[in-house]
Amino acid sequence: MAERLNKLLARAGVASRRGADALIAQKRVTVDGKVATLGAMVTPGVEEIQVDGERVRVADVPDRHFAFYKPRHVISTVSDPYDRPTVVDFIDSRVRLFPVGRLDGASEGLMLLTNDGDLANQLTHPRYEHEREYRVKISGTPLESVLQKWRDGFWLGEERTLPAAISVESSSGGSTWLRWVMREGKNRQIRRMVEAVNHEVHELIRIRMGPITLGALKAGEWRRLSAAELRALDEGRDEPLFESGDRYFDPAVQSAGSSKAKPRYKPGWARPKRRAKRGKRQ
């Protein structure tokens, strides 16, 4: 089955789709010995693709989809010029992964990582309007008029925010926990909306993206998306398949607790404490 050349190159880990288009425009990509053109359709396993004279194998590149709990102070990109930890440092994958639904460094919670550009576009493009759900801890106790302003949407700079579903979970000790459901994701939007009415965000945790929930994942852990979750995404559903916090039982689930899923540590990271060695069995 023919697929777009830039998608195949992205799946093979050569570059992102945009990067693949740049390679094609620079005439560095050939298909069966002929210089490729933008928008070209190619049948993997039948036509030979080369980049800079090197053959690209794409026929056996599987789709990979992961749910990941991004910790605070981890960067939501593939690489970082300052060598800070990024989300892809936590997942042992042989294919190039792209983060979906970025979170700023001070925020935490659910992100998806995939090598499927179509899925990434479906989850992030505004026209699909998938719900995103957050738990947000703010300073003080917001007035009902403030809550209603957030719910109705208002002008934030040159853009107007869309209506959102916002409820109070609890309020004590000079702070309030909110449940915040929205269908957009402008840069630092929740933080800016909160700051616009003289409150501050102390914690921000994303717990759901469309039908995918954080579940029982802890910071730094990940799992593969189940077949049911992928079907729900393909159908454009938003209803959560599992409530966040519930145990997620699936034989395919893996997490950072397994030996293959531990993040690669970088200079400046806190090393995990070594477990005490057990005595030999008698």
Residue-averaged pLDDT of the chain? 83
Element (H, E) at 134: strand 132-139
Q: Tell the residue number behind the tokens 């997490």, with chain if given.
A: 255
* pLDDT computed for residue 60 by the predictor: 60
* pLDDT computed for residue 86 by the predictor: 93
As a whole number of angstroms, the distance between CA 114 and CA 122 comes to: 12
* Burial group, residue 155, by CB count within 10 angstroms (0-12, 13-18, 19+): exposed
For residue 92, pLDDT beyond 50:
yes
How many Cβ atoms sit within 10 Å of the Cβ of residue 182?
22
* pLDDT computed for residue 275 by the predictor: 42
Catalytic residue among 21, 80, 92, 104: 104
Amino acid at 142: P
Q: Tell the residue number behind the tokens 């700023």, with chain if given.
A: 104
Q: In the chain, what are the domains?
A: 3-56 (3.10.290.10), 65-127+210-234 (3.30.70.580), 131-209 (3.30.70.1560)
pLDDT tens digits, residue range 152-171? Answer: 999 998 999 999 999 999 99
Structure tokens at 102: 């970025």
**What letter would DSSP give residue 87?**
G
How many Cβ atoms sit within 10 Å of the Cβ of residue 18?
10
Q: What is the mean pLDDT of residues 45-64?
A: 81
* pLDDT computed for residue 10 by the predictor: 79
Q: What is the pTM of this model?
A: 0.72
Clarify whether 104 is annotated catalytic.
yes
As a whole number of angstroms, the distance between CA 26 and CA 154 comes to: 44
Of residues 18 and 119, the one with the higher pLDDT is 18
pLDDT tens digits, residue range 205-255? Answer: 999 999 999 989 999 999 999 989 988 888 888 888 765 444 443 434 455
* Contact in structure between 208 and 245 (CB atoms under 8 Å): no
Q: What is the mean pLDDT of residues 131-142?
A: 97
Element (H, E) at 150: helix 144-152
Percent above pLDDT 70 for the chain: 81
pLDDT confidence bin for 61, thresholds 50/70/90: low
Q: What is the DSSP code string of 182-236? A: ES---TTHHHHHHHTTT--EEEEEEEEETTEE-TT--TT-EEEPPHHHHHHHHTT
Nearest to 182 by CA among 158, 153, 211: 153
Of residues 248 and 184, the one with the higher pLDDT is 184
For residue 93, pLDDT beyond 70:
yes
pLDDT confidence bin for 115, thresholds 50/70/90: confident
* pLDDT computed for residue 75 by the predictor: 94
pLDDT tens digits, residue range 119-133? Answer: 777 777 667 678 999
* pLDDT computed for residue 271 by the predictor: 44
